Structure 1
Amino acid sequence: MKKFLSLSVAAVLALSMTACGSKAGDTQNADATEKSSSNAKYTVGICQLVQHEALDAATKGFKDYLTEKLGDDVVFDEQNAQGDSATCATIVNSFVSKNEDLILANATAPLQSAAAATTDIPILGTSVTDYATALDISDWSGTTGRNISGTSDLAPLSEQAAMLNELFPDAKNVGLLYCSAEANSQYQIDVIKEELEKLNYTCTAYSFVDSNDIASVVQSAVNDNDVLYVPTDNTAASNTEVINNIAGEAGVPIIAGEAGICKGCGVATLSISYYDLGYQTGKMAYEILVNGADPSTMEVEFAPAVTKQYNPDICEKLGITVPDDYKALDMSE
């Protein structure tokens, strides 16, 4: 009887620990498994900053490639930080304690947390705009020189500025809307501001700290500008409904840095495929895991192609007609 009670208590404790772990890291996938409890050759820890379309697609592409190549020889310990940097640190530290074979850091905050957590386990980033900014590397050469590489989601900012000019040549004032807590958003704003000023626009930056102050910041931006630009920004991506409600009501169009944001609140974007980006990162992971490639010498890679896309619903609402070479976003996805 004592033995039965002991086993029951142990089971309850195990279930409680599992529930707490899920709440803290919000494990997304039922196949999250430690290598010690499986016969897989490789365990890959995935830390995704927040759930939204672009990051979800990158994670899926990454997993699809490795699963195609390795089948049951790879398992994924997949967790979502729900937009919290402190949770990113908790998640990647758990990966380190489990001695995972590789860590995928999906977005900048997970990359920074992983970089702080280990100098030994290979780390690949994806959906990261600028690695030099994220990792504070002053003499960027295309490689990190440490246990980190990955893929960048940066679409050419000069071409994004040209797109804004193509669609809104008569506009005078452009509001640059971004989250100040995201270093890569600041980088994009600095670059595109310079590009837009070359085209004779007057640019003003409007930063929000998090979702709590985004509505008031957007309202200020739409009051004073003809067009808004929103870069690839995870906080903005999670709050497109708020942005659209304010900008759409005011009739102020938005050029977005990526397709997910454009679907929620933009009129047009120079888009990459985040699925393809994640798939490409999966190829890099395979080279590290199976062929022993050294991430310190692997160049950060970029999306293979960009596409001009537009949001047909918002364009119709605002009375905007785009050129023939723009492709309509699939709003059903």
Structure 2
Amino acid sequence: MKMKKWMGLAASLMAAVMAFTGCGGSSEAPAEDTAEIGTYTIGIVQQMEHGSLDAATQGFMDKLTELLGEENVTFDYQNAQGEQANCTTIATKFVSNGVDLIMANATTALQCAAAATGDIPIVGTSVTDYVTAGVVDSNDAPGRNVTGVSDLASVEAQVDVLMQFCDPEDTKVAIIYCSAEPNSIFQADLAKTYLDSLGVPYAEYTVADSNEIQSVVTNAVSDCNAVFVLADNTLANNMEIVKNITVPAGIPSVAGAEAMCQVGALSTIAIDYYDLGVKAAEMAYDILVNGANPAEMPIEYMTDGIVPKYNPEIAEALGVEIPEGMEPIGE
């Protein structure tokens, strides 16, 4: 009787093992072909609406969706409409909602996100200099929960493009920017240093907000015969005003971003802001999936696809000759 009970128990155990391992009798778990990416919620705070920032956001979302898979990522996109208070409110909401990462598009958006959290990783884009913005210890070693991509195109190269439309012996350059934007002050210092080295006179013209652009640009073209509009969110959102003053005055201009040139400047050194967003997405993926630490990720810069471009409509209106190697905007 004992033997029968033992045999019955053995049979039950064998059946249980077979049921657990499957009909093939193998004890190995099925192989997984896909990496465990997980699911993520990304908060996006964009400082304002204009072509460059819109393109950067789109590039970021497209690339991160491609890398993670559409089913694995949710974007909470918020536009601050140019108001710092809105940036603060949006960033604070992202923190309270516990998003996995914040993408901050433009300087004020980045500053507000960095002030809102020291824990959630933040990737910036459309920001000229992260040290000047006060959000990292250095561009090579951020030292905090912030990293990102710079939109700094060589200020020296921008000046060189502008000077191709000017007589070096008889040119005074108006440097126009918003005094409330740290990235613009940084660029202005670079422009002044380079113009000094060339021996080209210049004057600074600053606006506090968009309401001052009309009068400030009007004053600038009355005193100067060339205009450099820095990569500045306030000016970028109002380039139509700049064009309506500089073109009738017959003044050549260079703008710090391609989208600005498309609307209202003669020339630019073009950085593709969509590609800027793509690069930011690749950094975000490295943080989310590979466990990279933003504090140890150097600020990245665009090095490919940067070319001098011109606006054909404005070139025709000014009657200028286009230098060899300069491409029409939009091509």
TM-score (norm 1): 0.85
Task: Say if 1:132 and 1:140, in contact at 8 Å, map to a contact too.
Answer: yes
Q: Which amino acid aligns with 2:161?
A: M
2:156 matched to which residue of 1? Answer: 158
Aligned pairs for 1:235-246 within 5 A: 235-246=234-245
Aligned pairs for 1:106-255 within 5 A: 106-135=105-134, 140-170=138-168, 171-255=170-254
Aligned pairs for 1:1-333 within 5 A: 41-70=39-68, 71-135=70-134, 140-170=138-168, 171-305=170-304, 306-330=306-330
How far did 1:140 drift?
A: 2.7
Instruction: Give the match's secondary structure for 1:249.
Output: coil
1:36 matched to which residue of 2? Answer: none
Instruction: Give the match's secondary structure for 1:120.
Output: coil
What RMSD, in angstroms, separates the aligned Cα atoms of the two structures? 1.3
Instruction: Give the match's secondary structure for 2:211.
Output: coil
* CA shift digits 1:14-70 (9 cap, x unpaired): xxxxxxxxxxxxxxxxxxxxxxxxxx7100000001111100010011001111111
How far did 1:321 drift?
A: 1.3
Separation of aligned partners in 2, 1:253 and 1:162: 13
The verdict on how the C-alpha distance between 1:301 and 1:326 changes in structure 2, with shifts beyond 3 A counting, is same
Task: Say if 2:64 and 2:281, in contact at 8 Å, map to a contact too.
Answer: yes
Q: Which amino acid aligns with 2:146?
A: I
Separation of aligned partners in 1, 2:139 and 2:239: 35
Task: Say if 2:165 and 2:252, in contact at 8 Å, map to a contact too.
Answer: no
Q: Which amino acid aligns with 2:162?
A: L
Q: Which amino acid aligns with 1:58?
A: A
Instruction: Give the match's secondary structure for 1:134.
Output: coil
Instruction: Give the match's secondary structure for 1:212.
Output: helix
Task: Say if 1:165 and 1:199, in contact at 8 Å, map to a contact too.
Answer: no
Instruction: Give the match's secondary structure for 1:45.
Output: strand
Separation of aligned partners in 1, 2:135 and 2:225: 34
Q: Percent identity?
A: 47
- Asked which structure has the greater CA Rg, the reply is 2
1:9 matched to which residue of 2? Answer: none
Aligned length: 291
TM-score (norm 2): 0.86
Q: Higher mean Cα deviation, 294-303 or 128-137?
A: 128-137
How far did 1:136 drift?
A: 6.2
Q: Higher mean Cα deviation, 309-318 or 194-203?
A: 194-203
Separation of aligned partners in 2, 1:172 and 1:83: 34
Separation of aligned partners in 2, 1:142 and 1:233: 24
Separation of aligned partners in 2, 1:163 and 1:193: 15
Task: Say if 2:104 and 2:125, in contact at 8 Å, map to a contact too.
Answer: yes
Separation of aligned partners in 1, 2:87 and 2:139: 27
- Show structure 1 runs of 4+ deviating over 4 A: none
Q: Give the gaps of 5 or more residues in structure 2.
A: 1-37
How far did 1:164 drift?
A: 2.0
How far did 1:169 drift?
A: 3.2
Q: Which amino acid aligns with 1:49?
A: Q
Separation of aligned partners in 1, 2:191 and 2:301: 18
How far did 1:272 drift?
A: 0.7
* CA shift digits 1:127-172 (9 cap, x unpaired): 00000100166x6351210000000000011211222222313342
Q: Higher mean Cα deviation, 73-82 or 302-311?
A: 302-311
